[in-house]
A and B are shown apart, each in its own frame.
Chain A
Amino acid sequence: MAALLQLTEVRRHFGGVQAVDGVSLEIESGTIFGLIGPNGAGKTTLVNLVTGYIQAQSGSIRLGEDGTAAELARRRPDVIARMGVARTFQTLRLYRNLTAFDNVLVGMHARRRHDTLQQIAPLPTFQHEPRARLAKASALLERVGLKPNEYGMRRAGTLSYGDQRRLEVARALAIEPRLLILDEPAAGMNPVEKDRVRDLIRQLNADGLTILLIDHDMRLVMGVCNRIAVLNFGRKIADGSPAAVSADPEVITAYLGRQAEKTGAHVPGAETATIATAAHQDTGASKATKATGRMLEVSDLEVAYGAIRAVRQVSFGIDEGEIIALIGANGAGKTTILNTLSGILRPRAGSARFLGIDLTVTSPDRIVRNGLVQVPEGREVLARLTVRENLELGAWVRRDRQAVHREINALSERFPILGRRRDLPAGQLSGGEQQILAIARGLLARPKLLLLDEPSLGLAPQMVDAVFDVIKQIHEEGTTILLVEQNALRALEVADRAYVVETGSILLSGTGAELRRDPAVQKAYLGG
């Protein structure tokens, strides 16, 4: 079969980072092609390159069977769209104030003739085209599973999250594309909703549409794709059938962080087993043993973004001196939980008590003052300030200048990077160095509970080792830690206890060791 989309040695860098480093792949007409890889691997960048939002610096992107193939690189996004490439967005970009019909009608823009004159004089003879368009829009809504009569007139922003995702697909289909690119279409959905997405994808493909699918949900990707490419650090590390890719050791390493043990290592392929949502038991172990006291108690937490229920009925607790890990795939709600603890988000229901204060009503700065400090996802160092200034700001809530001064010096000795680069803008440090800076900065606030959000994100394996060593060290020195990680195995190695989070709920819990050996964890982690 002929290749519909052909990428050859596509390269793109930003500053010093090679976001896409010589990627080549081919998507055959009529197939479903999957693109996977850890966060920051370059998947969305690649999509943006193909659809024209970013310009490739070298390489070629050709659309169409050989002979009629056209070069896409360096063209405007709307031109590429009109050539037949439609997409949805990772972050969901609907026209929120327009109705569902409007959204789809706008999607038809390229296929619509200019009708200014007809609109100015709306004679009956001119009604034919608008009606045809409307009929087509209705058909598209039906195709994605949205009943036109119910949903057509509703403002897009008022639809439920799953329906919004489907509407975006309908809108993309309106341009009658040859290639449909779906960027995380199932993000944040529960297994039932995901199955419906899977069915929709299959249906569209059965009708002849070529689809490029990007997602983190292995079950979805493996279950629906004919072929899969895996990206890591901007390079393609695997390209083949789902079975081949899921057994590829390099892929497993990239995702899990280390060679999975023979026993129990179980990367799911086409299994469609639904996760046993056996009632999550908070291991009574913690309640019984540590008499040192409960530091943090979270009960029935519910957090929502508009229509999206990001955190559903989450309950857990942390005792003084523990390291607790929250693991689960991207979009599971882990960061939302942390942000609620830090006071940046407010829950719809439930409570979170920390050393006697109610986190759900306390202002963020007071929460920090009380000893709950977060090192956010992506590090968020203040790039334009120097390393030293970042550290000094870490101690914002403290008054004891002398002690802070001494501690900064101590930290600089302990992490020589901080000492050597102290007057450089923090933005110039490498990812791993920034992570260490962020942790040191967090420590300077004298936290009683330190929240670490994805400390290994986007880091090369050696840096990951270094970072986790640091985490172990500070824990041994007595800091209580709540660790959120996609890198399940590393997290479970250091944690005393852990919780597995999927689509906003806690699925499993247990000690680090228990969960590490549990085959269901691998399923849950990779299937979340």
Chain B
Amino acid sequence: MTQQLLNAIFIGSIYALFAVGYTLVFGVLDVLNLAHSAVFMLGAVITYSLVALHGVPFIFAALVAVLVCGLLGLVIEFVALRPLRRRNAPPISALISTIGLALIFVAIVEQATPGTLFSWLWQDGANSVRFPTGAVPNPTYHVAGLTLEGTKLGILATSVVLMLVLGYVIRFTQVGRALRAVAENRRAATLLGIDVDRIFASTLFLSSALGGLAGLLFGLALSDISPYIGRDQVELKGLAVIVLGGMGSIPGAVVGGYLLGLIEVLAFVRFGSNVEAGVAFAALFLMLVLRPQGLFGARLKERL
């Protein structure tokens, strides 16, 4: 059981990291970035590609992947989001355009087999792979009857450190305050001299970098890297997490992530793997019906 709880913490960390990126964009831009899960997948794919196809050491590959994912965030902003803002399009449009980008990202990887256009990136088409053994140092420790893998500890450590750093930046730095200002009241922020477009671009960069990191950590922890890990593993669960925690709330995303990890593990232990999968959505559905703003979110009102 304790082993399971540990698993819950590890997987919860990944959910939390993913959800924080998701909710950051929603809080600041009022947009649900459905390409986020595709970036998650690309984080894993790019890291794998560098390590397995190009022989780059893991840590370095991971850093590069995270950076590239951040840049992909800029692509999302400039291709799918900014043009819509310039045209005063309704928020639903952003949903659709990010869906479009996600489709493109996934399809590119899905179709990449040896001899195709993108074979430098990926050669396994729709299959799932894992990091080559030995590519990532993974000492195991045995403590108090529990098995602790080095990689999973690394994941936990990275996640916690990152979330602390992010929390610090948002709460205590001028940039963090500017972000919160834009999230709360775009006009007031503009009148303070904040360049809102720049804030949006930075937010997307940061959010996508986090998403990519979550992806590569996922691929590492669960030995599962495929074009579909975004869609199958986190896209909808990520939604469940931010709905649970409250859309736009970062502490909510963190709490929600660990909460979901916990719920899933408990459901698995109690009911078996079949129910576990549907649990996230049952939770999502219930929360939306009972308390749409989630645990930490703010109520939404329309002015007459």
Contacts and interface: CB of A to CB of B under 8 A. Distances in A.
A and B touch in the complex (CB under 8 A): yes
18 contacts: A89-B304, A342-B190, A344-B187, A344-B191, A365-B190, A365-B193, A373-B193, A374-B191, A376-B187, A380-B187, A380-B188, A382-B188, A384-B180, A385-B177, A389-B177, A393-B181, A396-B194, A441-B192
Contacts of B116: none
A368 interface: yes
Contacts of B184: 382-385
B2 interface: no
Interface in A307-366: 342, 344, 363-365
A333 B194 CA distance: 25
Contacts of A380: 185, 187-188, 191
Interface of B: 174, 177-178, 180-181, 184-185, 187-195, 304
Contacts of A367: 193
Contact of B193 (A89, A383, A392, A396): A396
A272 B181 CA distance: 47
By Cβ-Cβ distance, the 4 closest A-B pairs, closest first, are A368-B193, A380-B188, A397-B193, A365-B195
Contacts of B185: 380, 382
A383 B298 CA distance: 12
Nearest to A45: B304
B15 to A, nearest CB: 25
B191 A368 contact: yes
A396 B191 contact: no
B194 to A, nearest CB: 6
Given A363-B195, A369-B193, A445-B192, A392 B187 contact: no
Contacts of B304: 44, 48, 53-54, 89-91
Contacts, number: 70
B34 to A, nearest CB: 26
Contacts of B187: 344, 376, 380
A393 B177 contact: yes
Contacts of A89: 304
A394 interface: yes
Contact of A344 (B178, B181, B190): B190
Given A53-B304, A365-B194, 20 more contacts: A44-B304, A48-B304, A342-B190, A344-B190, A364-B190, A365-B195, A368-B192, A374-B191, A376-B191, A382-B184, A384-B184, A385-B181, A385-B184, A389-B180, A392-B174, A394-B192, A396-B193, A396-B194, A397-B193, A445-B193
A447 B96 CA distance: 42
B183 to A, nearest CB: 9
Nearest to A93: B304
Nearest to A389: B177
Interface of A is mostly: loop
Nearest to B191: A374
Contacts of B174: 392-393, 396
A452 to B, nearest CB: 12
Contacts of B180: 382, 384-385, 389
A89 B304 CA distance: 8
Contacts of B189: 382
A376 B188 contact: yes
A201 B174 CA distance: 54
Nearest to A183: B304
A374 B193 CA distance: 10
Contacts of B193: 364-365, 367-369, 373, 396-397, 445
B285 to A, nearest CB: 26
Interface in A449-496: none
Contacts of A53: 304
A363 B197 CA distance: 11
* Most-contacted residue by chain B among A44, A364, A385, A441 (CB, 10 A): A364
B112 to A, nearest CB: 41
B185 to A, nearest CB: 6
A509 to B, nearest CB: 27
Contact of B192 (A44, A363, A384, A396): A396
A384 B177 CA distance: 11
Nearest to A427: B184
A146 to B, nearest CB: 25
Contacts of B178: 393, 396
Contacts of B190: 342, 344, 364-365
B252 to A, nearest CB: 14
Nearest to B171: A389
A97 B195 CA distance: 33
Nearest to A404: B174
A44 B179 CA distance: 33
A344 B188 CA distance: 11
B243 to A, nearest CB: 20
A342 B191 CA distance: 7
A396 B192 CA distance: 7
A244 to B, nearest CB: 31
Nearest to A453: B191
Given A53-B304, A380-B187, A393 B195 contact: no
Contacts of A384: 180, 184
